[in-house]
């Protein structure tokens, strides 16, 4: 998968993409990250935002630097990217959206900053608007990192053990069951007997029951969707 990131702050991504699973994925050549600084493509590099027409607080990201960057990047390859605009007004990001996006060959993430985007960036380009939740951040950079992390770990081959995806929270619509590791007893707190029993059928039943109980208690809203 090719992932292009269009941003005014490419340096913010360097650390996140250079560690852990995201780094391993690019080392295995399962993903290629490309950072583009929107400012570099602006006619006036010192002016990428401006005051809103009609008045109002804050600054609005100008259309021209974003359109220019997208056009320059699209010239690099014949493959059409799925363009994603990070904005609090977008579709709510979820595990199932992450799964869908992980099947795309080419994602282009456009992160805005300041008060918002000039509306023509939304309407004049074929973009999929994506929000990571109902709160407003100071820019789309952190949301883009979150989307990249959730998507890349689902690309086949990125995680060493594919079962870690099948068993985790949200995959089957439930939260994950409780996990334990050694020691069997810590500060008087014991690992449930059944997990040490070696009875795989019983362990599976226990996992299912715990996942269900936990979801009912902590997130009844997602249980309704299963
Ligand atoms: N930019 C600012 N807030 C955001 C959010 N919640 N999701 C995506 N992009 C954003």
In the chain, what are the domains?
2-152 (3.40.1280.10), 167-223 (1.10.1270.20)
Nearest residue CA, atom 7 of ligand 1? 131
Q: What is the pLDDT at residue 113?
A: 85
User: Is any atom of ligand 1 closer than 6 Å to the C-beta of 137?
Assistant: yes
Question: pLDDT at residue 224 above 80?
Answer: no
Q: Residue 106's pLDDT is what?
A: 98
Under 8 Å between Cβ of 147 and 101: yes
Q: Kindly state if the Cβ of 133 falls inside 6 Å of ligand 1.
A: yes
Is the separation of the CB atoms in 49 and 60 below 8 Å? yes
Question: What pLDDT, on a 0 to 100 scale, did the predictor assign at position 209?
Answer: 97
Q: Say whether pLDDT at 168 is over 90.
A: no
Coil, helix or strand at residue 5 = strand
Residue 68 has pLDDT above 90, yes or no: yes
| For range 188-203, the mean pLDDT | 98
pLDDT reading at 114 higher than 80: no
Ligand 1 atom closest to the CA of 130, numbered from 1: 8
**Residue bearing the bigger pLDDT, 50 or 114:** 50
Nearest residue (by CA) to ligand 1, atom 9, is 87
> What is the pTM for the complete model shown?
0.95
How many Å lie between the centroid of ligand 1 and the Cα of residue 46?
24
Q: What is the pLDDT of residue 73?
A: 98
**Ligand 1 binding pocket includes 135 (Cβ within 6 Å):** yes
Q: How far is the CA of 211 from the centre of ligand 1 (A)?
A: 30
Tokens of residue 115, six digits: 């008060």
Q: How many helical (H) and strand (E) elements, i.e. helices and strands, does the chain have?
A: 10, 10
Q: Residue 226: pLDDT above 90?
A: no
The pLDDT score that the predictor gives to residue 115 is 82
Q: For residues 135-145, give the mean pLDDT.
A: 97
* Cross-strand bridge partners of residue 92: 131
User: Quick check: 225 pLDDT over 90?
Assistant: no
């Amino acid at each position: 998968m090719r992932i292009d990131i269009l941003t005014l702050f490419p340096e913010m991504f360097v650390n996140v993409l250079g560690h852990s699973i995201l780094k391993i994925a690019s080392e295995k050549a399962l993903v290629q990250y490309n950072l583009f600084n929107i400012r570099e493509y602006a006619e006036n590099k010192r002016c990428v935002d401006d005051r809103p027409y009609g008045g109002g607080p804050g600054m609005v990201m100008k259309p021209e630097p974003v359109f220019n960057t997208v056009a320059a990047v699209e010239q690099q390859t014949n493959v059409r990217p799925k363009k994603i605009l990070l904005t609090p007004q977008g579709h709510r990001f979820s595990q199932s959206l992450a799964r869908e996006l992980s099947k795309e060959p080419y994602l282009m993430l456009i992160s805005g900053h300041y008060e918002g985007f000039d509306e023509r960036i939304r309407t004049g380009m074929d973009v999929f608007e994506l929000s990571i939740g109902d709160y407003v951040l100071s820019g789309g950079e952190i949301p883009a990192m979150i989307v990249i992390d959730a998507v890349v770990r689902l690309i086949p081959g990125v995680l060493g053990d594919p079962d870690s995806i099948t068993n985790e929270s949200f995959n089957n619509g439930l939260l994950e069951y409780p996990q334990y590791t050694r020691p069997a007893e810590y500060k008087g707190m014991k690992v449930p007997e059944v997990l040490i029993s070696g009875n795989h059928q019983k362990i599976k039943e226990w996992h299912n029951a715990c996942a269900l109980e936990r979801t009912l208690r902590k997130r009844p809203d997602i249980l309704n969707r299963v």
